[in-house]
Structure 1
Amino acid sequence: MKTRHRFSLLILLVLLVSCQTKKPIEIKQIDSKEMVTLIPSLKNPSMKDSVVLSIPTEFRIIINSSNVGYIVWRYRANGKVVLDDITDYQVCNKKNKLKLIYNLNFDEIPKDEFIDIIIKERNRLISKVEANNLLKKYKINKSIDHLKIGDTVKLVTYDKFRIENKDIINSLNKVQDSIDFKAMRDKDENFYTSKKINW
């Protein structure tokens, strides 16, 4: 009798877990193979002693609900909302890396089971000494002395960069960088979720 009772409880528990509704969207960070780059500061192009270390992160947005019509995001650096989504960071759909996006509107694009987005962080200044050390490390024979807007020096893919530059990654992980997502369902129903960035 006890065995039958335990079995019934187990079946009930499995049913309860399976009946729980999934969140409309889930966010997973992906180990990106996009390039880490050096670029001039977009906020202060005349800056002479520093350059921007532009680091890509990649997120998979898993869509669990057919009612999701629109998804927007907010980037937080060191706990503060970053408002400038051009000079401080840029987002693109992995399927079209050349076009910047500011949201996902499913009236305009197909709604797939998941969508991968790439966020290119463009607000992290490093000294030219540090930048030149990275150039030497990756045997890149380029000068960063006269970088102009639009110039990009590619270093290495991020999955390799994070393994080979532990000091930089550890310093990034000390601050609270995250991305907040809002999914809109129908007219009045919103769902919020936040994902800490694991550099």
Structure 2
Amino acid sequence: MDSFLERSDELHIEILALLEGAEVFPGMRHEVALVACGIALEHALSLRLLVRTQCFTSALSMMRLQYEALARGVWLLYAATDLQVQTLASPLTVSAETAARKMPMFSTMLEQVREKAPAQASRMLLNFKEVNWHAMNSFVHSGIHPLRRHADGYAAGLIESAVRSCNGLSLMVFQLGVVLTGDPRYEGVVRATQEKYHQILPGLVSPL
């Protein structure tokens, strides 16, 4: 597990290095979506730190947060209205918080992504949700998954699988970050990164 985590750290560091200094395509929509990417990568780092301290229940709960941050970024880029983008880009005031409460529920947000985003972008989010949603919900809401795992123990294979899925989400975040730059120099970089780290990724990830 230690070597798997170390290799996952290397992927994380490489993603940050590749995006460091990259200029996002001008516009509030792209800038806010990039913030969501940063949040998703922070959740990924948190998951691995929690695994290292054997806080496995809390670690697996982070996966839903990472997934929702990625989904929010995709929604902001492709499906959110200009007013919704402006609201989420506003300084955190009482009025802004009140306006933000009117944002669509997560299920509605995903449906809007399915309708408005490129097919590959929506497919990657929906496929991940189809496989992992019930377990992610269970961990966040202290359902049967965490109750039984916490009582009976976590198999090493389960933890490795969770970190692998987390790495897959991070690669999707990287894909979104590349799209947000609009920089043709990134062409092929995501695929090359995927091939370099394929041992710690959950199979092929469709490019955005």
With the length of structure 1 as denominator, give the TM-score of the two structures: 0.31
Answer 1 or 2: which has greater strand percent. Answer: 1
Q: Greater helix percent: which structure? A: 2
Larger radius of gyration: 1
Q: TM-score, normalised by structure 2?
A: 0.30
